[in-house]
Amino acid sequence: MKHLRPVNRKAARIDETASLMEEDVVALQQAPKPHVPMGCTLSFSPGWEVDAAGGTAGLCQPVERDIYDCYVTCFWPVQVPDHVNYSPDWASNCAVATKDWRNLDLVFP
Amino acid sequence: MNEMTTIPSGRYRLGEMHEFQAGEQPFMYLVSAGAIFALDEGAHAVLRRLEDESLSHGDLVAALLESGYSHQDAEELIRELLFVHGIVSDAMSPALAPKPETPPADFPLQALVLNITNQCNLACTYCYEFGADKIATPQGKPKFMSLETARTSVDFLLRKSTGRQAVHITFFGGETLMNFKLLREVVLYAREQAEAQNRTIGFSLTTNATLLTDEIIAFLSDYEIGVTVSMDGPPDLQDKHRVYKSGKGSYAVIEPRLRKLIESHKTRAITARVTLTNGVTDVIRIYRHLKDDLGFHEVGFAPVTNSGERDYMIDDNGMDDVLSQFHELADEWLEHALRGQMHGFTNVSETIGELLQGVNKSHPCGAGLGLLGVSPSGDLSPCHRFTDADTHTLGHISTDIDAEKREDFLSRGHVGAKYECQSCWARPLCAGGCHHEAFVRYGDTGHANLHYCDWIREWTDTCLRIYGAVSVQNPQFLERFAARKGLS
């Protein structure tokens, strides 16, 4: 952090968490300027399952961000794993999507 | 779809904190974490702006722009302060305060306090074990711990401390040295048992020093046994309350013994623990005598525990006097620290150790958690202060901890269960204060010690300012307190 200097151990741990998060999750509209990932689109709708290179590594957001729309209620036919037939356990390690989304993995057929 | 990427709207206000200053440098002590941050000018400006009113994001940014900060700085300041909860937004629901939770039933023990006798050769008028406010009910129970009970206690400690490499035994009384014969046996036995498991065990004892002999001192030094001496100061103050049953004072008896102890026992720090009472509030004079004349390494002070109706208790004026002398010693502590020297005033050193870690206590101390007391009969209690009190037995050494009673004790004592503590910024360190003191004063171990609140806050603020000053001018010095842990 730039404006707060940790001076005890607990503060140092908070500072560490902050710096980890800074590099971990960046919102597209986060200041100072919009973050537009290379090779990606600024579309806010799900379903863009491949990036410009034809892979998944460069997607602007992980497909998991729409887990409840796409995986359970299925209003949008995005390519998340099929929980009815082929990947019934896909989300079993993800009890709370906001906390556990890192546990969701991609499935390669 | 894109709400998640927008900055939360709503209004900002200050989070729960205590601000303090050391020199020109402003700091904040964050209550939800026990964290201490030094603030730059911008962060300080944000807090000042939100001191009297809440502001929307736009208004706060505008105010910062007006004060000459760039847009980027303003956004960064807000983001950082939000992250550490230095400011909060009413649009973001705060994490739910955790409900008091019972520790797991197998929470490993760290230390036992063995009351190896409940007998004492002194008759200090203010004693919590024998005085007017006693809660012990020793009638019909053993007066001295047997070797069998002591060995069972050692086995119990080693068995119940799974996962801990080092454990600790404190010997206590009564007057501990009235059962020195047993103490020696226990040390030898415990060392042997711990070694067999490839673990270490440390020892300490509290004594009134009247029974120290050359032989005992040599043993304590050889086996690296920490010694705390209960004493109240120079002759006129020591002999006021710390007397034999005949009324004779104890100073003349202990003085030559103390000098020998301090001269010969070099393996551990020797500390004095002073009880402040009505008329015994001369903190500076007591400190000088114990530290400079007698040579104790450290001296700690605490006002006498009492029900609030005793003639030996300190009244409010007396407490003010005590505090102002505490501050004088605290200033001295800081001067020493800035020169890189240790000062012997325990009350500061203990708090600095806790501030360095950023402790945020669920309970005021380890009683009933990592620490238990054992009475001469083998009854378990939350700590030595509850020894032999039928109302507070937590099981027996030969059977086990009474899980239900322990749970009741710990749920009462949890800081989350103390209503008055919820709005106090000092609760991460205090957690409501001593369970025993609360029981004597209010009849409930889970009652916050309200008679101390102002005093605790003032003292914590003093220690924070010392901590801040050292963190700016001699930060490496603080590392010396990293391994410090108190058992009082």
B463 or A54, higher pLDDT: B463
Distance of alpha carbon B178 from alpha carbon B246, whole angstroms:
18
Min distance B364 CA to chain A CA atoms (Å): 18
Distance of alpha carbon B18 from alpha carbon B227, whole angstroms:
36
A24 or A1, higher pLDDT: A1
Q: What is B96-111 written as a DSSP string? A: PPPPP-PPPTTPPP-E
Residue numbers in B near A3 (CB within 8 A)? 39-40, 42-43, 76-77, 80-81
Contact (CB<8Å) A32/B75: yes
Which residue of A3, A11, A65 is in closest CB contact with B43? A3
Residues of chain B numbered 344-403 and touching chain A (CB < 8 Å): 355-358, 360
Nearest to B300 by CA among B345, B233, B241: B345
Write out pLDDT tens, residues B237-261: 999 999 999 999 999 999 999 999 9
Percent of chain B residues topping a pLDDT of 70: 95
Average pLDDT, chain A: 69
Min distance B361 CA to chain A CA atoms (Å): 13
Predicted local distance difference test score (pLDDT) of residue A20: 82
Write out pLDDT tens, residues B168-190: 999 999 999 999 999 999 999 99
pTM: 0.83
Average pLDDT, chain B: 92
Residue A100 is a catalytic residue: no
Nearest to B477 by CA among B359, B343, B297: B343
DSSP state of B250: S
3-class SS of residue B396: strand
Confidence of residue B152 (pLDDT cuts 50, 70, 90): very high
Q: In terms of CA atoms, which chain B residue is nearest residue A30?
A: B5
Q: Is the pLDDT of residue B6 over 50?
A: no
Who's near B398: CB < 8 A, 6+ residues apart?
A: B152, B378
> If you count DSSP H runs as helices and E runs as strands, how many of each does chain B have, helices first?
16, 14
Predicted local distance difference test score (pLDDT) of residue B134: 86
Contact at 8 Å (CB) between B271 and B297? yes
- Structure-block tokens of residue B356: 């360095």
Residue numbers in A near B80 (CB within 8 A)? 1-4, 18
Tell me the average pLDDT across B59-69.
Answer: 94
Write out pLDDT tens, residues B27-49: 999 999 999 999 999 999 999 99
Confidence of residue B5 (pLDDT cuts 50, 70, 90): very low
Q: Is the pLDDT of residue B59 over 90?
A: yes
User: For chain A, which domains are there?
Assistant: 1-35 (no CATH), 41-104 (4.10.940)
Q: In terms of CA atoms, which chain A residue is nearest residue B70?
A: A32
Contact at 8 Å (CB) between B110 and B161? yes
Contact (CB<8Å) A3/B355: no
Q: Is the pLDDT of residue A75 over 50?
A: no
- Structure-block tokens of residue A30: 């986060």
User: For chain B, which domains are there?
Assistant: 10-89 (3.90.930), 111-404 (3.20.20.70)
Buried b (16+ CB within 10 A) or exposed e, A81-96: beeeeebeebbeebee
Pairing status of strand B380-381 against strand B371-374: antiparallel
Write out pLDDT tens, residues B374-417: 999 999 999 999 999 999 999 999 999 999 999 999 999 999 99
Which residue of A8, A27, A28 is in closest CB contact with B36? A8
Predicted local distance difference test score (pLDDT) of residue B309: 83
Write out pLDDT tens, residues B274-311: 999 998 999 999 999 999 999 999 999 998 988 888 88
Write out pLDDT tens, residues B213-235: 999 999 999 999 999 999 999 99
Which residue of A2, A7, A9 is in closest CB contact with B76? A2
Contact (CB<8Å) B358/A8: yes
Residue numbers in A near B33 (CB within 8 A)? 10-11, 14
A72 or B11, higher pLDDT: B11
Contact at 8 Å (CB) between B253 and B295? no
Distance of alpha carbon B73 from alpha carbon A97, whole angstroms:
32
Predicted local distance difference test score (pLDDT) of residue B250: 96
Predicted local distance difference test score (pLDDT) of residue B316: 83
Residue that is written with structure tokens 């415990």 in the block: B190
Predicted local distance difference test score (pLDDT) of residue A103: 83
Which residue of A1, A14, A21 is in closest CB contact with B33? A14
Contact (CB<8Å) B1/A14: no
ipTM over 0.90 threshold: no
Tell me the average pLDDT across A10-19.
Answer: 93
> Which position among A15, A66, A82, A100 bears the catalytic label?
A66
Predicted local distance difference test score (pLDDT) of residue B135: 86
